[in-house]
């Protein structure tokens, strides 16, 4: 694995209460639009290794294939989705809280652990139970364990590192409680700042 070619991209929506109790990606049709954007807008810019759509943010594990590819790709996804959302809701203005955040991943170990972090997000946030993770439609985890293949992610690299689909499932499942504890600690620390 070449150092510095991978990154974690994430973005948070500006107002989780836009249009009442519905968040920007709560409805399935909205999530499907983002999934289609991930599938159709990435080819020349990035390779997608993992993703997860949450009610108020999303996570992506990407490899940059072109100069500034991650930045260009996330801008395309965010701007395209904001236009779609604004037209559907007859509103204007930005949808995302800030510009996306990107973190460079320089080691194979961090790369694999980041994928696990992304895939456990809906479980850690108590959106779904662990038993439903393999069928959760807004994550690439079902592709990693052989439940579906929608052609968005390259799972071969990570599966090769960990030793296959079943070992990856174990790798993810074995850290649920630890990741939940880290999440609680993170929130406690941020409250004191």
SS3 content of the chain, % helix, strand, coil (to 5): 50, 15, 35
Going by C-alpha positions, the residue among 139, 140, 138, 120 that lies closest to residue 130 is 120
3-state secondary structure (DSSP) of residue 94? coil
Rounded to 5°, the CA angle 148-151-157 comes to 90
Name the pLDDT band for 7 (thresholds 50, 70, 90).
low
User: What is the structure's pLDDT at 130?
Assistant: 94
Q: Which two tokens stand for residue 189?
A: 């620390």
- Calculate the average pLDDT of the chain: 76
pLDDT digits (tens, 9 = 90+) for 65-110: 888 888 888 777 766 666 666 667 676 666 555 556 778 888 899 8
The answer to whether residue 182 scores a pLDDT higher than 50 is yes
Name the pLDDT band for 6 (thresholds 50, 70, 90).
low
Compute the half-sphere exposure of residue 98: CA atoms within 13 Å on the CB side of its CA. Answer: 5
- pTM equals 0.74
Q: Under CATH, which number does the domain 6-191 receive?
A: 3.30.70.1290
pLDDT digits (tens, 9 = 90+) for 30-65: 667 666 666 655 568 888 999 998 887 788 898 888
pLDDT digits (tens, 9 = 90+) for 105-145: 888 998 999 999 999 999 998 899 999 999 999 999 999 99
DSSP annotation string for 109-138: HHHHHHHHHHHHHHHHTTSS-GGGGGG-TT
State the sign of the Cα–Cα–Cα–Cα dihedral 1, 106, 148, 152: negative
Higher-pLDDT residue of 8 and 69 is 69
Asked whether the beta carbons of 140 and 155 are under 8 A apart, the reply is yes
Domain residue limits, the chain? 6-191
Asked whether the beta carbons of 141 and 132 are under 8 A apart, the reply is no
The answer to whether residue 25 scores a pLDDT higher than 50 is no
The answer to whether residue 20 scores a pLDDT higher than 50 is no
pLDDT digits (tens, 9 = 90+) for 161-170: 999 999 999 9
User: If you compute the radius of gyration of the chain from its CA atoms, what whole number of angstroms results?
Assistant: 16
3-state secondary structure (DSSP) of residue 18? coil
Measure the CA–CA gap between 15 and 131, rounded to whole angstroms.
30
């Amino acid at each position: 694995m070449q150092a510095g070619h991978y990154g974690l991209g994430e973005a948070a929506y500006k107002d989780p209460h836009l249009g009442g109790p519905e968040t920007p990606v709560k409805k399935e049709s909205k999530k499907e639009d983002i999934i289609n954007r991930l599938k159709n807008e990435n080819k020349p810019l990035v390779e997608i290794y993992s993703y997860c759509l949450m009610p108020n943010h999303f996570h992506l594990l990407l490899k940059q294939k072109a100069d500034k590819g991650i930045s260009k790709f996330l801008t395309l996804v965010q701007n395209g989705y904001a236009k779609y959302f604004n037209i559907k809701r007859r509103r204007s203005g930005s949808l995302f809280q800030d510009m996306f955040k990107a973190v460079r991943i320089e080691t194979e170990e961090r790369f694999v652990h980041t994928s696990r972090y992304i895939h456990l997000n809906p479980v850690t946030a108590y959106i779904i139970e662990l038993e439903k993770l393999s069928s959760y439609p807004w994550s690439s985890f079902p592709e990693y364990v052989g439940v579906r293949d929608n052609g968005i992610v390259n799972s071969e690299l990570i599966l090769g590192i960990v030793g296959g689909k079943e070992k990856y499932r174990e790798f993810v499942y074995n850290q649920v409680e630890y990741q939940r504890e880290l999440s609680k600690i993170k929130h406690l620390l941020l409250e004191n700042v």
